[in-house]
Amino acid sequence: MPLTILKYPDPSLSLPSEPVTEVTPELRQLAAEMADAMYRAEGIGLAAPQVGRRVRLIVVDVTGPEERKGRMVLINPRLTPVEDEGRVESEEGCLSVHEYRSKVKRYAKVRLEAQDLDGNAVDMEAEGLLSVCLQHEVDHLDGKLFIDHISRLKRTLYDGRVKKWLRESREPRL
Ligand code: K1U
Ligand code: ZN
């Protein structure tokens, strides 16, 4: 069965994830199923806590679900901003945040350090959509959603919409 992507306000999306200590067959299987879930949902990234697994594992493919040519599976990813490149405003959505998009300020360029599934070290710089996507996914590993970066007013308005959807889904049909 395909993995289910948890939706805000599921409380487990706000919890930090634990480092991966060993690449097991189960971890490989999880990475493959996460990639499948990401492509099915037409996303460009997915983090393990979004599927209920609190481990520091992400998959990204900014070529998108049609191309599927840039899949990266990243274990224990760490990001360091390349400070002199400044910040950018990115328009973001999230597979765990229903019907909402907003602009978020992100570092324009980041250095990525991680391991891949074969135990190789990954050390590279990322910019553009990949940089933004990596920052979004690593936030998930720290229990943060992109809506944690928006203004208090925008957040209150969005939370109101979510509460209404939840009330309506619980109301008995007449
Ligand atoms: O982690 C996730 O919820 C996946 C999310 C990642 C993301 C989107 C936009 C900016 C940064 C990170 C998505 O993939 S949502 C789908 C989406 O917004 C998108 C899809 C294709 C191209 C660009 C954005
Ligand atoms: Zn997300």
pLDDT at residue 102 tops 90: yes
Joined tokens for residue 57: 């594992």
Q: Among this protein's residues, is 66 annotated catalytic?
A: no
Closest CA to 144 of 133, 136, 154: 136
Rounded to 10 degrees, the C-alpha dihedral 18/23/28/31 comes to 30
Residues 6+ apart with CB under 8 A from 69: 61, 63
* Ordered DSSP codes for 95-117: TTEEEEEEEEEEESEEEEEEE-T
> Residue 173: pLDDT band by 50, 70, 90 thresholds?
low
Per-residue model confidence as pLDDT tens digits over 135-166: 999 999 999 999 999 999 999 999 999 999 99
CB 147 within 8 A of CB 8: yes
Residue range 47-54: average pLDDT? Answer: 98
CA of 174 to the centre of ligand 2 (A): 35
Q: Which atom of ligand 1 is nearest to the CA of 91?
A: 10
User: What's this model's pTM, rounded to 2 decimal places?
Assistant: 0.96
Residue 174: per-residue pLDDT: 61
CA of 146 to the centre of ligand 2 (A): 7
Residue 90: per-residue pLDDT: 96
Burial per residue of 57-78, b for 16 or more beta-carbon CB atoms within 10 angstroms, e otherwise:
bbbbbbeeeeeeeeebbbbbbe
